[in-house]
Chains A and B, each alone.
Chain A
Amino acid sequence: MTIADGPALPKLIGERVKRREDPRLIQGQATYVDDIKLPGMLHLAFKRSDIAHGVIRSIDTSAAAAMEGVELVITGAELAEHLGPMPIGTPFPAPDHFSVATDKVRYVGEPVAVVVAEDRYIARDAADAIEVEYDELPAVVDPEAAMEADSATLHEGFERNIAVESYWGGTGVNPETAQPEDDSAVDAAFAEADVVVSQRMLNQRLAPNAMEPRGVVAQYEPGREYLTVWSATQNPHILRTLVAAMMGLGEHQVRAVAPEVGGGFGCKINIYGEEYVAAALSRLVKAPVKWIEDRTEAFLTTTHGRDLLGYIDLAAKSDGTITGLKARIIADIGAYEVLLTAMIPTLTGLMMNGVYRLPVVRHELTEVFTNKTPTDAYRGAGRPEGLYFLERAVDMVARELDMDPAEIRRKNFVPADEFPFATQSGLVYDSGNYEPCLDKALEVADWQGLLAERDAARAEGRIVGVGLSFYVEVCGLGPSAVVPTGGWEHSGVTVERGGKVTATTGASPHGQGNETTFAQMLADHFSIPLEDITILHGDTGVVKQGIGTFGSRSQAVGGAALISAAGKAGDKMKQFAAALMTDQEVSPEDLVFEDGRIQVEGAPEVSKTFAEVADYAYVPVPLPPGMEPGVSEEAFFEPENNTYPFGCHISMVEVDRDTGETKLLKLIAVDDCGNVINPLIVDGQVHGGLAQGIGQAMFEEVVYDEDGQPVTASFMDYVMPRAADLPVFELDRTVTPTPINPLGAKGVGEAGTIGSTPCVVNAAVDALAPFGVTHIEMPLRPERMWRLINEGGQS
């Protein structure tokens, strides 16, 4: 058979290919959890505590149960017969935490009873009709006061509300023993320093605010003894594992599906009580059940992020050489430990080495329970907090020494020839080349020009400042040794009849664009059109194994698994192709994929089409000796280390003298995430990250009153950044590939939230420096800024 030559296919890796998933997402053609409607489906509503701390005295469900359309009303104590305490994913000690409170409530929003009803409205009305009486206890709101001996305590066995305490310090972690060395050197470094800056800083509590709130549909089929759970989750495979365990089922009896998921930002890593409850109640009422979170519930019950208080001391010589760091961190983790709660603040200290050679470090961490919503990962998860503390402190040293903020960083950089670089905290940075990135950022921003512009504005009486930050972060989580769920990723690649390709990935996306980037990679690998490739994800019934999407791991770990599976599938395609060309004495090793054909390298006339070979693979007559029919391969990828992307952000702000309002005039981000598959998607990830990082610096904050009542539980009160608040970002890149995976890609999903926050605050402090201001707490609220302009000092 002669096949006409197809058009030459351009290489797609590195191209700005538009996201293939967007048309359906923006045209209402996508299926989210709430779009799932099953016959006979019932609806859940949760009765939630409206007090922060108290013992449940009584729950009267009679009025609710008597309402028409109500199938079941069940309290936490009754539900505990069906569901045990929830599992967590960290090795730290944790108090029991039931999906629905059994005897005591510890934060506003904690569920105390559940209604199953015919529709959402009846369920909600019935939940409102449940009467709960509490013996109120004093609310614990301030984490420092929580550690005082006279504070009320949340959990038995956790005295002074302390969940986790850790300490390490010295001149480096001994890799043999993993123990910190003698830390008298820390005190010596501070005693000998020419300059020491000390600052208390709050990295405030944030609400993740995914555009789609949480939601779950659970269907237990008693006949098959099989449970299917659809959930707005970042990691359906982890959901399957944990729901199976909670339900007393094997993983072979549970299918978990993450349909379209409208953003996660870390808050959809945790497997929540509502997911377990839906599964358990579906089994109990013998019908599918649905629960969809409303926005107020999201503010009250979806995990919060950040909330770290840092006491930071940084020592330096008069020439700007940093000689030591002390960090005492208090993490307000809220009322309970959920999946990764206790682990997140540990990342803060691990990453506080930053991009610098730090001779000595002392790090103390205390995680404290308070009567607030539990915390867990939020975009950056521990690193934004650490880098904020560090980059603020470095800036303060520069100001103290009257040094240029760029030059103090340059002076202390880990030099390019010292990678892989072992940090004080025991991490090994895979690769890095910081100086060219700094230089590029200074050039793109026209740093000297910016400073001149600022000075000219000041001369006119305007309040303008410029700021800079340089971050390094950790991406590509695993390896398995450090990720409790396992740190690998899985992928399957099937060449279908007709030469089309279906691939699966365990890195379940919720905005990362894997359907596009992964297809680009396969299009180049097999030299076939992008349209011939489908990427499936998010369904444990389809994707055999997986871990999920968090820690900027999709490309660095998931992409590496994909390429590995593609390699195996490609090898088999070549074997079939060679078998089809036996008369031409072709060996598989001689073959390459080229423009829809499999050909002898450099000899396009000796070839078969990709489609032809695929068809042969499924009707293999004759079957080549030693081969199985078909082409469907899979691979696991286990990274040997994390990846450490980095970048430099520069900003310029202006503060209104009369109103105190801060306006972000410029933001320049030069990020290095290694090799880039799709620059458009990377830019998009950086844009979103910057908006959230700037949101923390300027607008966002979860606030509780002294009784533990949340006062920011709607978009009227919790200020999100809007498009009009943001300038046109100026983005650029340097490329330092990682040796950790075959793609050389490091990860970029969280970069924007890590560099931008200290960068913007540094600019704001620079703006107010003429007023004697040395530090400003986030967010940069107009009232706070106005006071500083008029009263000086610190906020």
Chain B
Amino acid sequence: MEIKGEQEFNGPRELLYELLLDPDVLAGALPGVERFEEVGPETYESTMRVGIASVRGTYTGRVEVLEQAPPEAYRLRIDGSGKPGGVRADATVELSENGSGTTMHYRAEVKARGTIARLGGRLLGGVARLLIGQFFKSIEQQVDDRAA
């Protein structure tokens, strides 16, 4: 399934780009993260706890940052799994200036397996939107803090 959307931030895109790829910032911003560490060049491993309905569980995953083009775009390859199944996602993030701040366009092609797949678009889309929303709120806070 495809998850995509856009989000507006107040800060300049250079700042946003930096924050979005800072392991410490990410560890704080990703909902339910218990561990987020760099294990290689542009490669991170994390443990995340998700507490929502039938996808509840602890997930371990690997995130690779590919094709960096600061401050405009980068690509992520995400592979995570837990008891309720797993997801593999290929995501692109594009940042553009919008006059007053930065607009982020994101698009991810998600392949799920296990229970997560069986729930399909019925639940997965909603869970993803919820988690992404929490993530953006946190990043927004950080942007505001830094910009201030």
A-to-B contact residues, CB < 8 Å: 50-51, 108, 128, 296, 705, 707, 709-714, 716-717
Q: Which of B85, B120, B122 is in CB contact (< 8 Å) with A50?
A: B85
B41-49, B91-99, B107-115, B135-143: which lies at the A interface? B107-115
Whether B113 pairs with A717 at a CB distance below 8 angstroms is no
Whether B122 pairs with A709 at a CB distance below 8 angstroms is no
- Within the complex, the shortest CB–CB distance from B49 to chain A, in Å, comes to 16
CA distance A711 to B113 in the complex (A): 10
Whether B120 pairs with A717 at a CB distance below 8 angstroms is yes
Whether A108 pairs with B120 at a CB distance below 8 angstroms is no
Chain B residue contacts of A705, Cβ below 8 A = 117, 120
CA distance A716 to B114 in the complex (A): 16
B-to-A contact residues, CB < 8 Å: 83, 85-86, 111-115, 117-118, 120, 122
Whether B117 pairs with A716 at a CB distance below 8 angstroms is no
Task: Write the chain A residue with the least CB distance to B115.
Answer: A296
20 contacts between A and B (CB under 8 A): A50-B113, A50-B117, A108-B113, A108-B117, A128-B83, A296-B115, A296-B118, A705-B117, A705-B120, A707-B111, A707-B113, A710-B117, A711-B120, A712-B118, A713-B118, A714-B118, A716-B122, A717-B118, A717-B120, A717-B122
Whether B118 pairs with A710 at a CB distance below 8 angstroms is yes
- Within the complex, the shortest CB–CB distance from A719 to chain B, in Å, comes to 13
Whether A709 pairs with B83 at a CB distance below 8 angstroms is no
Chain A residue contacts of B111, Cβ below 8 A = 707
CA distance A51 to B120 in the complex (A): 15
CA distance A296 to B117 in the complex (A): 13
Chain B residue contacts of A128, Cβ below 8 A = 83
Chain A residue contacts of B120, Cβ below 8 A = 705, 711, 717
CA distance A50 to B83 in the complex (A): 11
Q: Point out which of A709, A712, A714 has the most chain B C-beta atoms below 10 A from its C-beta.
A: A709
Task: Write the chain A residue with the least CB distance to B86.
Answer: A50
Chain A residue contacts of B118, Cβ below 8 A = 296, 709-714, 717
A-B contact count (CB 8 A): 32
- Within the complex, the shortest CB–CB distance from B75 to chain A, in Å, comes to 21
CA distance A219 to B122 in the complex (A): 42
Chain A residue contacts of B114, Cβ below 8 A = 50
- Within the complex, the shortest CB–CB distance from B139 to chain A, in Å, comes to 31
Task: Write the chain B residue with the least CB distance to A48.
Answer: B114
Chain A residue contacts of B113, Cβ below 8 A = 50-51, 108, 707, 709
Chain B residue contacts of A712, Cβ below 8 A = 118
Task: For the complex of A and B, list the 8 residue pairs with the smallest distance between their C-beta atoms, beginning with the closest.
Answer: A50-B114, A709-B117, A713-B118, A711-B120, A50-B113, A128-B83, A50-B85, A51-B113
Chain A residue contacts of B85, Cβ below 8 A = 50
New A-B pairs, 20, CB < 8 Å, besides A50-B113, A51-B113, A709-B118: A50-B85, A50-B114, A50-B117, A108-B113, A108-B117, A296-B115, A296-B118, A705-B117, A707-B111, A707-B117, A709-B112, A709-B113, A709-B117, A711-B117, A711-B120, A713-B118, A714-B118, A716-B122, A717-B118, A717-B122
Chain A residue contacts of B122, Cβ below 8 A = 716-717
- Within the complex, the shortest CB–CB distance from B127 to chain A, in Å, comes to 15
- Within the complex, the shortest CB–CB distance from A326 to chain B, in Å, comes to 38
- Within the complex, the shortest CB–CB distance from B61 to chain A, in Å, comes to 14
Task: Write the chain A residue with the least CB distance to B85.
Answer: A50
Chain B residue contacts of A50, Cβ below 8 A = 85-86, 113-114, 117
- Within the complex, the shortest CB–CB distance from A164 to chain B, in Å, comes to 30
- Within the complex, the shortest CB–CB distance from A147 to chain B, in Å, comes to 25
CA distance A128 to B115 in the complex (A): 12
CA distance A714 to B122 in the complex (A): 12
CA distance A657 to B83 in the complex (A): 44
Task: Write the chain A residue with the least CB distance to B57.
Answer: A128
Task: Write the chain A residue with the least CB distance to B54.
Answer: A714
Chain B residue contacts of A296, Cβ below 8 A = 115, 118
Chain B residue contacts of A710, Cβ below 8 A = 117-118
Chain B residue contacts of A108, Cβ below 8 A = 113, 117
Task: Write the chain A residue with the least CB distance to B82.
Answer: A128
Task: Write the chain A residue with the least CB distance to B113.
Answer: A50
Chain A residue contacts of B86, Cβ below 8 A = 50
- Within the complex, the shortest CB–CB distance from A777 to chain B, in Å, comes to 20
Task: Write the chain B residue with the least CB distance to A131.
Answer: B81
CA distance A216 to B77 in the complex (A): 43
CA distance A712 to B120 in the complex (A): 9
- Within the complex, the shortest CB–CB distance from A402 to chain B, in Å, comes to 44
Chain B residue contacts of A716, Cβ below 8 A = 122
CA distance A716 to B115 in the complex (A): 13
Q: Point out which of B83, B113, B114, B115 has the most chain A C-beta atoms below 10 A from its C-beta.
A: B113
Chain B residue contacts of A709, Cβ below 8 A = 112-113, 117-118
CA distance A128 to B86 in the complex (A): 13
CA distance A108 to B114 in the complex (A): 8
- Within the complex, the shortest CB–CB distance from A617 to chain B, in Å, comes to 61
Chain B residue contacts of A714, Cβ below 8 A = 118
CA distance A128 to B113 in the complex (A): 14
Q: Point out which of B85, B111, B117, B122 has the most chain A C-beta atoms below 10 A from its C-beta.
A: B117
Chain A residue contacts of B115, Cβ below 8 A = 296
Task: Write the chain B residue with the least CB distance to A51.
Answer: B113
- Within the complex, the shortest CB–CB distance from B116 to chain A, in Å, comes to 9
- Within the complex, the shortest CB–CB distance from B73 to chain A, in Å, comes to 27
CA distance A707 to B117 in the complex (A): 10
Chain A residue contacts of B83, Cβ below 8 A = 128
Task: Write the chain B residue with the least CB distance to A706.
Answer: B111
CA distance A51 to B117 in the complex (A): 10
Chain A residue contacts of B112, Cβ below 8 A = 709
CA distance A212 to B1 in the complex (A): 33
CA distance A710 to B117 in the complex (A): 7
- Within the complex, the shortest CB–CB distance from B88 to chain A, in Å, comes to 9
CA distance A716 to B121 in the complex (A): 12
CA distance A709 to B118 in the complex (A): 7
- Within the complex, the shortest CB–CB distance from A209 to chain B, in Å, comes to 16
CA distance A710 to B113 in the complex (A): 9
- Within the complex, the shortest CB–CB distance from A304 to chain B, in Å, comes to 15
CA distance A374 to B118 in the complex (A): 18
